[in-house]
Amino acid sequence: MPYDPSAFPPFAVTVDLVVLTVRRHALCALLVRRGEPPYQGRWALPGGFVRIDEDLEAAAARELAEETGLQVQDPGSGHVGAHLEQLATYGDPRRDPRMRVVSVAYLVLAPDLPSPTAGGDAHSVRWAQVDTLSTPGGGPVRDGDRPAPLAFDHDRILADGVERARSKIEYSSLATAFCPPEFTVGELRRVYEAVWGVALDPRNFHRKVTGTPGFLVPTGGTTTRQGGRPAQLFRAGGATLLNPPMLRPEI
C-alpha cells in the first residue's frame, strides 16, 4: 500500500515514563496524580505529548526533566544522570477514551534522589513501591488491600518496565544506574535484592561482581556509611554487557 501523505489518519503521539529507583530497600516507581478527566484523581505514569518537531527520545528526556528535574545521562558528563531507554509502544484504539493516542513508553533508571520529586508539588507526585501496586492480570500484591489501578493502560506499561529492569540487570551493568556515582559492593547488592525481591549471598556476590571484567572500577576511597568494616568505593566500569551474567535465583 503506497503512502498518501495528504490523507493519513490523524494520530496523537505521547511518551509515558516508567521511572524506577531503589528507596529504602524497595523498588519504587514515580507516579503523578491526574488533575483532569479522564481518570481524574487517579495515579498515572508521567508523560505528555510529543511535539511535532521533536524526537521521541528528546520528548522523553524533556518530560523527565519537567516532572522530576532529572537529567538524562550525558556521554560527556560521566555517570551523573539517569539511564533512559525505549520500552515499548502502546496503541490500542480504545486506550484513551477521547481519541486515538499512540504512546511510546520509556524506561528510566535513576539513583535515589536526595530531593524526592523535585520540581513538582508533593500532593501530585510520589514514589510508589512497585510490589504494593496492582498488576494487570490481577495477581497478588504484597499485603493489604489492592490499590486503585493506574489510569489508562499504565499498570501494564509499568509491569512491562519492571520486568525489563529485572531481566536487564542480569546481563548488563544497568544496576549501577540505581547507584550514586560512587558506591560499595554492598549497596550494589542491595539494588539487586530490591529489584529482584530476593536475598543474595554477600560473599558470592562480592566475588562475582569484583571478578567480572569491566563491571566495577575501584576509586581508591572507602566508606563506612553502612556501619561495620569500611567498604571499598567503586564506580561503574565501561562494560555494558556482563559476561558471565549475574544469575537471578530461581523462584
Partner DNA sequence: CGAATAGTGTCTATCAGACAATATTGG
Partner DNA sequence: CCAATATTGTCTGATAGACACTATTCG
Helix residue ranges, H only, 81-123: none
Q: What is the distance between the alpha carbons of residues 211 and 183, in angstroms, rounded to a whole number?
A: 17
CB of 178 closer than 8 Å to CB of 26: no
Stretch that binds a second copy, among 86-94, 119-127, 188-196, 231-239 (CB under 8 A): 86-94
Which whole-number Å values give the CA distances from 78 to 82, 112, 119, 168, 221, in the listed order?
Answer: 11, 18, 24, 21, 18
Q: Does 207 bind DNA (CB under 7 A)?
A: yes
With CB under 5 to 8 Å by kind, the binding choice for 185 among DNA, a second copy, none is DNA
Among 51, 142, 146, 207, binds a second copy (CB under 8 A): 51
Beta bridge partners of 235: 217
Q: Residue 186's CB: how many other CB atoms inside 10 A?
A: 16
By C-beta, is 49 or 198 nearer to a second copy? 49
Q: Does 51 bind DNA (CB under 7 A)?
A: no
By C-beta, is 222 or 243 nearer to a second copy? 243
Element (H, E) at 188: helix 185-196
The residues near 221 (Cβ < 8 Å, ≥ 6 apart) are 182, 232, 233
Contact flags string 162-201 toward DNA, x per CB under 7 A = ----------------------xxxx-------------x
**Contact positions vs DNA (CB under 7 A):** 184-187, 201-204, 206-208, 210, 222, 224, 226-232, 244, 247, 249
**Contact positions vs a second copy (CB under 8 A):** 1-3, 5, 8-13, 35-36, 48-56, 63, 66, 86, 88-89, 91-93, 98-100, 102, 104, 243, 250
